[in-house]
Every structure is written in structure tokens, then in C-alpha cells.
Amino acid sequence: MNLKLAGLPCLAMVILMTSNAPKAEAACASLLDHSVRHLAGEQVDRLCDTYQGQVVMIVNTASKCGFTPQFDGLEALYRKYKDQGFTVLGFPSQDFGGQEFADEAEAADFCRLTYGVQFPMYATTHAKKGKAHPLFQGLAEAAGGDYPSWNFHKYIINRKGELVGSFGSFTGPSSGRIARVIEDALGS
């Protein structure tokens, strides 16, 4: 028995319908499965939707810290590798010494005007163990319990959404170790 629908064999109709079906989205990597608000703004990004498939460095920052000059190095990394699929995401935090401006607009202006920060900055966020935002809790757990112990802790996530590096405050953005992890992640 030869079944036809609208003059086409059923198999051909199934093929046509399947080829026009919406493609399933790639599963969201758990480390990026968070929605976060932009610094001093209302826009909210779902990190998966915005950064999945990229190499991502997530950093807890502070504007009035001895490590604050690391903004220069973070911006340099961002500019050097952004066209290869790399980004830096900054999350100001009050957790360590209260070294961030209370007003987010002031923090945003400071980063942009003092250090020329162009990489994305998100809302003030807890990073410290015991009160960490789920983003930082997931990063720390993936790093074997390596929570930030001060400002400018850096986590690096590869294109698959896996943590491939965790660096404390004393490892600056210009470190060769950080560059190797980023370059390895970009190459894989």
C-alpha cells in the first residue's frame, strides 16, 4: 500500500517536517546557569545565553582594594583574547573589607573612568564562603572548595562550561599561568 499525503510520499513529508523543526538548544553548562543583573542597570543576562561556548574568566572585584590595579591586566586580557571567544566578567563584592562603593553607579563609573574597563561588569555579588551567590558557590565547589579569600579571585571556564582554572588574588592577570590556561582553553 503506497501512502501519500498532499501528493508526497509520507516519508518525504516526514523529512520535510523534520528539516524545518527548530533545533534543540545545547544544554546549559551548570556553571553558567545563572541570571545576573548588569552593574548599575536593570538588564539581566542569563550567562548561558550570553557566554556559552566562550572561554570565560569570572572575577570578584573591588574598587578600593590593594589589588584594584588588576583591572588594567583584566582589561588587557579581555582586549587581547576577546576576538578569539574570550571574555572577562567582573562582579563587585563588599565581602572583603567593604572595599567596594555602596552605590553601583559610582562603582561602574570608577571602573570605566579609572581603568577603562570595557568587559562586562555585573551587580554587586557575594563571593565569600557561607554567603556566596550560587554562581560563586558553584565555581568554588567545582574548584574543590576554593572560595575567594579576598578580592580579585579569578575562575576560568572553558568552552564546554567546565572550570579549568582557579587563581587567588596574588596571581595577577598578567601571570603566565593564567595566559596558558586561557590559551589552552581557547585552543580546545
Residue 139 lies inside a defined structural domain of this protein: yes
- What helix, strand, coil percent values describe the chain, rounded to 5? 35, 20, 45
Residue 88 or 7, more confident: 88
CB atoms within 10 A of CB 78: 20
Residue 4 has pLDDT above 60, yes or no: no
Residue 14 lies inside a defined structural domain of this protein: no
Q: Write out the residue range of the structural domain in which residue 160 sits.
A: 29-187
Pairing verdict, β 4-5 and 8-9 = antiparallel
User: Is 10 tagged catalytic?
Assistant: no
The tens digit of pLDDT for each residue in 126-174 reads 999 999 999 999 999 999 999 999 999 999 999 999 999 999 999 999 9
Residue 78 lies inside a defined structural domain of this protein: yes
Residue 2 lies inside a defined structural domain of this protein: no
| From 10, 28, 48, 65, active-site residue | 65
Residue 24 lies inside a defined structural domain of this protein: no
| Identity of the amino acid at 59 | V
**Cα distance between residue 17 and residue 61, in whole Å:** 50
pLDDT at 183: 98
The tens digit of pLDDT for each residue in 31-86 reads 999 999 999 999 999 999 999 999 999 999 999 999 999 999 999 999 999 999 99
Total structural domains within the chain: 1
CATH number of the domain enclosing 66: 3.40.30.10
Residue 10 lies inside a defined structural domain of this protein: no
Residue 101 lies inside a defined structural domain of this protein: yes
